[in-house]
Structures are given as C-alpha cells and as structure tokens.
Amino acid sequence: MKISLAFSDSGGAGSPVVLIHGFPFDRRSWDAQVAALRGKHRVICPDLRGHGASPVAPPPARMDEMAGDVASLLDRLGIEAAAICGLSMGGYVALAFVRLFPKRVRALVLADTRAGADSPEGRKARHDMVALVRAEGARAIADRLLPKLLSPSAPPAARELVRRMIESTPVEGIVGALLGMAERPDSTDLLAKIACPTLVICGTEDVITPLAESRELVAKIPGATLVTIPGVGHVSNLEAPAAFDSALVDFLARA
Ligand code: MLT
C-alpha cells in the first residue's frame, strides 16, 4: 500500500541526512540531532507509517515497505541520495533501505540496532505485545517498554518524551510495526556488501540491542567504526544527545 509520510525538513543547502526513528516513536525523537545538524546539513525526519502524523496501513508494516516509503519521500523532495541514520527499528529500516536502494545511500549510521532477525522467542514476545496493545492500549506498551528503553539514570525529560511518543502512537500503528519487525529477514549477509562509510553507535547499557550486536555490525561492515556511549541505554540519542550528536556531526563531516 502506498503511503505518503509526514515529515520535517530543515531545508538549507547542506548535504541531506535522513533520521529514522525507532519503535514506537516519531520524528520528535530527533529534535536534538536536528538542532545539532542545522546549518551543516539538510535534515529530513519522517514519521514512519503508523507512527506520528503518518497514515496507518493495515498490518504488518514490513521493513521493506517502510524503506520504500522513505524512498518515495526522497523522490517527492527531489533528493537522489542521502546519509541514512536509523535507531533500533529505524536501523532495521535503514538496512532494508541499503538493500533495496544501495546507490541512494551516501553514508550510513546504525544506532542501537542489529542485523539479525527475531528469534522464535522474540517473535512470540511481539505477538504477546500485539495482544496487549489491542486489549489495553498504547499506555500498557509504554509501561512495558520504558524500563528497558532507557537506563535508570536517563534524564526525566527523555523519559517523559518517550512516554508521550508511545502513548500517542495509534494502536494499529504499534501492531503493524510489531508484526513487521517479527517477520523481518536476517540482514547479516548484506553487511559485507555495504560500500558506503558507516558509523555504528551504541549505549553501553542497551538491554534491547546489546553492545555485542553493534560489535557484530562493525566486524562485518567494511571500514565501519563504532562509537560507544558509556552508561547509556537503548535510546542513546535521547539519553545522551551531546555524545550522540558529536559522534554524528563528526562522522558526517568526514563521510
Ligand atoms: C526499537 O527501539 O525500535 C525497538 O525496541 C526495536 C525492537 O523491538 O527490536
């Protein structure tokens, strides 16, 4: 199903950067990065299908379809190629984008994500969450996920924003993403073929996509570099924006 994504566009003459949010967030999660990149890059932040102000499509929301939505958005904006940065589910979408549209990726940033598919237990947990959100709504998903998304020392403002984003995501948007993630393919074989400059970022306290996953990405993507952010959990861009932004700005200046 064709979807026209809601998005923000900082404009400006710099090289384009697309920031792809995680599950179940929206483009607000990138506000600090948009501010840090302003004047240097044209920053585009989509709301993935079923999230933020974008339309909800019937589930599942496959990673390939989400990547296709991002490609259509770039077409609409007349952007042929961009640096693509995705956090967590946004990283799964970024990997799908590289597989489908390798020539459109100038540089790649994979934050707190992994290449592998879900394990059978992981898939079952996704289906349990589908039942939970349909029965009890997005607030129950926020209650379930918040302790894992951020480290105990995360700033209260980050915690509040994460809750607000989750609670404002439509139930069927959450269902679509859960089912889409559950059936996403393993991208490990793709890694050796990635030919653009690649940065991997990970919070050392990430319990959803632990540091070992990032180390595997870096070991398999030619020339990739790893930046770890000590003491920080899964949503590293919100929990430690200064460290995240400095890694991002530095990498994009060299990429
Ligand atoms: C995310 O933060 O996007 C999700 O936690 C990723 C996942 O559940 O695999």
> Is any atom of ligand 1 closer than 6 Å to the C-beta of 88?
yes
**Contacts (Cβ under 8 Å, ≥6 apart) of 88:** 22, 23, 111, 112, 113, 208, 209, 234, 235
> Is any atom of ligand 1 closer than 6 Å to the C-beta of 166?
no
Distance CA(169)–CA(223), nearest Å, equals 37
Cα(115) to centroid(ligand 1), Å? 12
Note the pLDDT of residue 85: 98
Note the pLDDT of residue 4: 97
Instruction: Kindly tell me the burial class for residue 17, based on how many C-beta atoms sit within 10 Å of its own C-beta (0-12, 13-18, 19 or more).
Output: buried
> Is any atom of ligand 1 closer than 6 Å to the C-beta of 23?
yes
Cα(235) to centroid(ligand 1), Å? 9
Measured by CA distance, the residue closest to atom 5 of ligand 1 is 23
- Long-range contact pairs involving 139-143 (C-beta distance under 8 Å, separation at least 24): 139/166, 139/167, 141/24, 141/166, 141/174, 142/166, 142/167
**Contacts (Cβ under 8 Å, ≥6 apart) of 29:** 21, 22, 87, 161, 162, 165, 235, 237, 238
> Is any atom of ligand 1 closer than 6 Å to the C-beta of 138?
no
Cα(186) to centroid(ligand 1), Å? 15
Tell me which amino acid residue 46 is. P
> Is any atom of ligand 1 closer than 6 Å to the C-beta of 162?
no
Cα(127) to centroid(ligand 1), Å? 14
> Is any atom of ligand 1 closer than 6 Å to the C-beta of 56?
no
Cα(222) to centroid(ligand 1), Å? 25
Note the pLDDT of residue 106: 98
Distance CA(154)–CA(105), nearest Å, equals 32
Angle between helix 89-100 and helix 171-182 axes, rounded to 10 deg: 60
20: phi then psi, degrees, rounded to nearest 5: -110, 120
Note the pLDDT of residue 1: 82
Note the pLDDT of residue 244: 98
Measured by CA distance, the residue closest to atom 4 of ligand 1 is 23
Measured by CA distance, the residue closest to atom 7 of ligand 1 is 89
Note the pLDDT of residue 2: 85
Cα(88) to centroid(ligand 1), Å? 5
Cα(14) to centroid(ligand 1), Å? 30
> Is any atom of ligand 1 closer than 6 Å to the C-beta of 208?
yes
Mean pLDDT in each 10-residue stretch from start to end of the chain (255 residues)?
Answer: 94 96 98 97 98 98 98 98 98 98 98 98 98 98 98 96 98 98 98 98 98 98 98 98 98 96
Ligand 1, residue 22: give the atom nearest the CA.
3
